[in-house]
Amino acid sequence: MDPFSIVADLEEGAFAKSSRMVRNVKRLSSLREIFEDEADYQKSLSREDRVVYEYTRPVIPPEPGQLFFGTSTIHPGRIGREYFMTAGHYHAKLATGEVYLCLKGEGILLMQNRAGRTRHFRMRRGVAVYVPPCFAHRTVNTGSEEFVCFYCFPGDAGHDYESLKTRGFLVRVKERKGKPSVVPSAKRREGRNRGGA
Amino acid sequence: MDPFSIVADLEEGAFAKSSRMVRNVKRLSSLREIFEDEADYQKSLSREDRVVYEYTRPVIPPEPGQLFFGTSTIHPGRIGREYFMTAGHYHAKLATGEVYLCLKGEGILLMQNRAGRTRHFRMRRGVAVYVPPCFAHRTVNTGSEEFVCFYCFPGDAGHDYESLKTRGFLVRVKERKGKPSVVPSAKRREGRNRGGA
């Protein structure tokens, strides 16, 4: 394929519109399963189907040796006490990593592996986080402005959202006394009890 | 391996010192073969063995699925009319790409494939350039301050500097009437003639 260049505003974060970059928008209505407080989710949705996050992705063949990159923008907001966040995913090719570089705002990057080990990293402009192979990852906007990251991962990594729909993240990021706090997921505990394990 | 975070100054570019990031420094004395004007190279070197560029690279296993990332900083300067630049390389695993995102300064990213096709992209803060698989790449500082880029490539890509030592880049970036200009490489033409092709 051909080399190409695109332009980002490093103060505001997002890449400019380009034939090389596709923009995806995720609204509340498409994110039913990720928030813990279902009552407030329904209430928020009935008021407005807000944009929770959006991202740009390049027009590049999803093949080994290629790289996918772009920017993700999570808008500020909460459902109940839980901050706006991405759906989160493992890579379909599990043993592939990802790099995040925060360009704007503040947030937390959550990670979790198949063994149930969780890690989290606080991010602000300039912080890079390495997601090693085999870790699911989700970004959370804990600030009052847009939280924007540049990301890069292998072109053949793909996405596995399903594993997280059934198991979910073991931790959630909620506002506690005006500050973001990483706490165990209630939904996950319910799931455990229902499953009889 | 474990997830980790590091901090970069997005105004100045470079990552902070960290046990997760190693810094490599390239001085004039180690870059004998890359500049065209050998007389001025020797003259410059006799005055001072200047730092031409430096880069940070992560402490990550060079394995499939991992990603290498960091920042490269090319200092301003010239040898003859030719701007300071990186040695340039193919990836040892040829069919692997790389992403550059300029954080500071201005420069040009040169690319060349095995078929002798060359491309170049002007970069300034916020410009991202995609180097597709199978393209050698070199960055050139055409400005008067440091030229800093964030980069990311597959962990198992490796470096092949040797192919470029023998063939060289087919184009060079030189100052012409106060402006950077991409021109055919004289060294390359010599090589062709000597080779009798």
- CB B133 within 8 Å of CB B98: no
Please report the pLDDT score of residue B187 as a whole number: 57
| Section A3-14 average pLDDT | 79
Quick check: is A84 in a domain? yes
Q: Is residue A1 part of a domain?
A: no
Greater model confidence, B19 or A31: A31
Residue A118 in tokens: 């969780």
Question: Scanning the structure block, which residue is given the tokens 């890079």?
Answer: A128
Residue A187 has pLDDT above 90, yes or no: no
pLDDT at position B10 is 78
> What is the C-alpha to C-alpha distance for residues A39 and A47, in angstroms, rounded to an integer?
13
Residue A157, domain extent: 21-195
User: Which residues 6+ apart lie within 8 Å of A34 measured at CB?
Assistant: A85, A87, A88
Closest CA to B188 of B93, B118, B104: B118
Q: How far apart are CA A124 and CA A135, in angstroms?
A: 21
For chain A, what is the domain count?
Answer: 1
- Give the up-direction half-sphere exposure of residue A21: CA atoms within 13 A in the CB hemisphere: 21
Q: Are B191 and B116 in contact (CB under 8 A)?
A: no
Of B19, B68, B101, B129, which to mutate for an interface test with A (greatest number of A Cβ within 10 Å)? B101
Looking at the DSSP bridge assignments, the partners of residue A154 are: A67
Q: Which residue of B has its CA nearest to A61?
A: B132
Q: Residues B13, B146: contact at Cβ < 8 Å? A: yes
The residue among A152, A156, A171 with the most chain B CBs within 10 A of its CB, best to mutate, is A152
Looking at residue B191, its pLDDT comes to: 42
**Per-residue confidence (pLDDT) for residue A197, from 0 to 100:** 35
User: Which token pair is B145?
Assistant: 């301050």
In a domain, A114, yes or no: yes
Q: Within 13 A of B147's CA, how many CA atoms are on the CB side?
A: 26
Give, in order, the Cα–Cα distances in Å from B3 to each of A103, A109, A176, B16.
Answer: 19, 11, 26, 17
- Put simply, the answer to whether A3 touches B121 (Cβ < 8 Å) is yes
pLDDT at B165: 76
- The H or E element that residue B165 is part of is helix B162-167
Nearest CA in chain B to A151: B152
Strands A82-83 and A179-184: unpaired
SS3 B177: coil
Half-sphere exposure of B193 (CA within 13 A, CB side): 6
Query: What six digits make up the tokens of A182?
Result: 């990483």
H helix runs in A4-101, sequence order: 38-47
pLDDT > 50? residue A171: yes
Q: Which residues of B123-147 are buried (b: 16+ CB within 10 A; e: fewer)?
A: bebbbbbbbbbbbbbbbbbbbeebb
Asked whether residue B60 is assigned to any structural domain, the reply reads yes
Residue A193, sorted as left (phi over 0), alpha (psi -120 to 50) or beta, turns out to be alpha
Q: Do B64 and A97 touch (CB under 8 A)?
A: no
For residue B9, being part of any structural domain is answered with no
Give CA–CA dist B92/B72, Å, rounded: 19
- Chain position carrying tokens 């509340």: A28
A67-77 mean pLDDT: 96
What backbone phi and psi angles, to 5 degrees, belong to A93?
-85, 95
Assess if residue A116 is contained within a domain: yes
> Please, which pLDDT band fits residue A193 given cuts at 50, 70 and 90?
very low
In a domain, B113, yes or no: yes
What phi and psi, each to the nearest 5 degrees, are found at residue A57?
Answer: -135, 150
Within-domain flag for B46: yes
CATH of the domain at A95: 2.60.120.10
Q: What is the pLDDT of residue B19?
A: 84
Backbone angles phi, psi at A191, to 5 degrees: -55, -45
Q: Which chain B positions have a beta carbon within 8 Å of A9's beta carbon? A: 126
B154: which 2 tokens? 């597959």
What are the Cα distances from residue A134, in Å, to A84, A153, B57, B97, B141? 24, 13, 22, 21, 38
pLDDT tens-digit series, residues A60-69: 999 999 999 9
Output the tens digit of pLDDT for each of chain B's 197 residues: 888 888 877 777 777 778 888 999 999 999 988 999 999 999 999 999 999 999 999 999 999 999 999 999 999 999 999 999 999 999 999 999 999 999 999 999 999 999 999 999 999 999 999 999 999 999 999 999 999 999 999 999 999 988 887 778 999 999 999 999 999 998 544 444 333 33
Q: Please say if the pLDDT value at position A195 is more than 60.
A: no
d(CA A173, CA A86): 12
- Among partner residues B96, B103, B132, which is closest to A3 by beta-carbon distance? B132
**Interface residue of A10, A20, A113, A134 to substitute, partner B, most B CBs within 10 Å:** A10
**Residue A188: which H helix or E strand, with range?**
helix A186-195
pLDDT recorded at residue B196: 36
* A128: nearest CB among B8, B128, B155: B8
The per-residue pLDDT of chain A, averaged, comes to 90
CB-based contact A119 B3, cutoff 8 Å: yes
What would the two tokens of residue B174 be? 């030189």
